[in-house]
C-alpha cells in the first residue's frame, strides 16, 4: 500500500496565491470606487455656483476654497490661499464694514446665515454673495478657531428682485413712480415733515385737452406725450423730490423741505419746459400745455389727503380759468 505523501508546496501555495489575488482585486476595486467618488465629488464642486471655504480665524489664513472661487471672483485660488486680503479687498467698499462685522458675529452665535454683500470680480463686475458661515466643530483641547462657510452667487436673484421691485413701483409707460408707490413715498415725506416741523409742498399736474390728442392723433401719439411730460418732470425736479404718474394724464410731485413759494418757482420752470416741447404727427407739428395746482403743508394738516384735496381743487381752478397756468391752493 503506497505511503501517504506530504502535501506538495504548490498544493499549499494555491490557496495563498488565490487569497492574495483576491485581496489585490478587492483593493483595486476599492481604489476604483474611491477614484469614482473623488471624481463625483470634484464634479459636484465644479457644478455648484458657490464657494465652499475654510478660514483660520487666529492666523487670518484661508485654508481652502472650492473651484467656484475662480469662476465667481475671477482670480486664481492660489492668491487667496496665500493672502486672505485677496478676498477682503474684493468686497465692494460700501459693504466691507458689514461683511467684516457679520463674520465676527459667528464667534458669538456659532453660525451666521443672513450675510449678503457685494464683491467686485477681476473684470470689475459687481456680484452679490449670500455667505453663510459656521464655527467648525472643535476637537477637545483644540485651540484653533476654524470657520467654514459657503458663499453663493445670488446676482441673478438680486437682479430679478430689483426688476420685480421696479415693476411694482414704476409706471411702465413713463418710467416714473406709479400711483401706489408715489403715495407711499409721499406719506413718508408727510410724516417726516410733521414730526420735524419742516415745510413740504404738493403739486398736481394735468395735461390740457389730452383726450383731443388721443382722438386726433391716436393713443400711440398720446403715449409719447405722456413720456415726454414725465421726462420733463424728472429733469426739472430736484434730487430728493418725488414725481409720479397717478392717473391717465395726471402727474404729481412732492417737494420735501420746500415751501410753497420755492416750489412755485420749480413748477414755473416745469411749465416753461413743457411749453417748449414740440411733437410731430405726419406733417403737422403741435405742442401741449398743462394745468398745475400747488399747495404747501399747513399746521392744521393732519393727513396727506388734505394737501392732495387742496392741490386738486387748485388744479381744477386752473382748468376753469383758462388752462396752461399754476394756481396755488
Query: Each residue of 270-299: pLDDT tens digit?
Result: 999 999 999 988 888 899 999 999 999 999
Catalytic annotation, residues = 249
Q: What share of the chain is helix, strand, coil (3-state, %, to 5)?
A: 50, 25, 25
Say if residue 134's pLDDT is above 90: yes
Mean predicted confidence (pLDDT) in 192-220: 93
Whole-structure pTM value: 0.61
Which cell is 16 given? Answer: 495563498
The CA dihedral of 296, 302, 305, 306, to the nearest 10 degrees, is -50
Say if residue 312's pLDDT is above 50: yes
Say if residue 2's pLDDT is above 50: no
Say if residue 247's pLDDT is above 70: yes
Query: Each residue of 53-92: pLDDT tens digit?
Result: 999 999 999 999 988 999 999 999 999 999 999 999 999 9
- Among candidate residues 85, 99, 90, the one with its CA nearest the CA of residue 121: 90
CA angle, 99 then 104 then 109, to 5°: 120
Contact of 275 with 290, CB cutoff 8 Å: no
Contact of 86 with 76, CB cutoff 8 Å: no
Say if residue 10's pLDDT is above 80: no
Q: Give the bridge partners for 111, in sequence order.
A: 134
Mean predicted confidence (pLDDT) in 162-186: 90
Mean pLDDT score of the chain, rounded to an integer?
A: 86
Query: Each residue of 17-53: pLDDT tens digit?
Result: 556 556 656 656 555 565 556 555 555 555 567 898 9
Mean predicted confidence (pLDDT) in 157-161: 89
Indicate left, alpha or beta for 74 from its phi (over 0: left) and psi (-120 to 50: alpha).
left
Say if residue 243's pLDDT is above 90: yes
Quick check: helix, strand or coil at residue 30? helix
Give the contacts of 148 (CB within 8 A, at least 6 positions apart).
Answer: 52, 53, 54, 55, 133, 134, 136
pLDDT attached to residue 141 = 58
How many other CB atoms are there within 10 angstroms of residue 320's CB atom?
9
Say if residue 162's pLDDT is above 90: no
- Among candidate residues 171, 161, 170, the one with its CA nearest the CA of residue 116: 161
CA dist 174 and 309 (Å) reads 24
Amino acid at each position: 500500500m503506497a505511503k501517504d505523501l506530504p502535501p506538495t508546496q504548490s498544493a499549499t501555495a494555491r490557496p495563498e496565491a488565490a487569497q492574495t489575488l483576491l485581496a489585490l482585486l478587492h483593493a483595486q476595486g476599492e481604489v476604483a470606487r474611491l477614484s469614482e467618488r473623488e471624481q463625483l465629488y470634484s464634479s459636484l464642486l465644479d457644478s455648484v455656483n458657490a464657494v465652499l471655504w475654510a478660514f483660520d480665524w487666529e492666523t487670518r489664513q484661508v485654508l481652502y476654497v472650492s473651484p467656484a472661487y475662480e469662476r465667481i471672483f475671477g482670480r486664481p485660488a492660489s492668491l487667496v490661499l496665500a493672502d486672505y486680503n485677496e478676498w477682503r479687498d474684493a468686497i465692494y467698499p460700501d459693504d466691507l464694514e458689514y461683511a467684516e462685522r457679520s463674520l465676527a458675529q459667528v464667534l458669538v452665535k456659532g453660525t451666521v446665515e443672513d450675510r449678503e454683500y457685494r464683491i467686485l470680480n477681476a473684470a470689475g463686475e459687481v456680484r452679490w454673495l449670500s455667505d453663510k458661515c459656521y464655527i467648525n466643530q472643535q476637537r477637545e483641547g483644540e485651540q484653533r478657531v476654524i470657520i467654514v462657510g459657503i458663499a453663493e452667487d445670488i446676482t441673478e436673484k438680486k437682479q430679478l428682485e430689483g426688476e420685480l421691485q421696479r415693476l411694482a413701483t414704476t409706471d411702465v409707460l413713463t418710467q416714473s413712480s406709479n400711483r401706489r408707490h408715489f403715495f407711499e413715498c409721499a406719506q413718508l415725506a408727510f410724516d417726516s415733515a410733521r414730526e420735524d416741523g419742516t415745510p413740504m409742498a404738493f403739486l398736481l399736474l394735468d395735461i390740457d385737452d389730452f383726450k383731443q390728442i388721443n382722438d386726433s392723433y391716436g393713443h400711440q401719439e398720446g403715449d409719447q406725450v405722456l413720456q415726454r411730460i414725465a421726462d420733463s418732470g424728472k429733469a426739472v425736479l430736484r434730487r430728493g423730490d418725488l414725481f409720479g404718474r397717478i392717473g391717465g394724464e395726471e402727474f404729481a410731485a412732492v417737494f420735501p423741505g420746500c415751501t410753497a413759494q420755492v416750489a412755485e418757482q420749480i413748477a414755473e420752470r416745469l411749465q416753461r419746459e413743457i411749453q417748449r416741447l414740440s411733437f410731430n404727427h405726419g406733417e403737422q407739428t403741435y405742442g401741449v400745455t398743462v394745468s398745475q395746482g400747488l399747495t404747501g403743508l399747513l399746521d392744521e394738516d393732519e393727513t396727506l389727503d388734505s394737501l392732495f384735496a387742496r392741490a386738486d381743487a387748485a388744479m381744477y381752478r386752473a382748468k376753469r380759468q383758462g388752462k396752461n397756468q399754476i394756481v396755488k391752493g
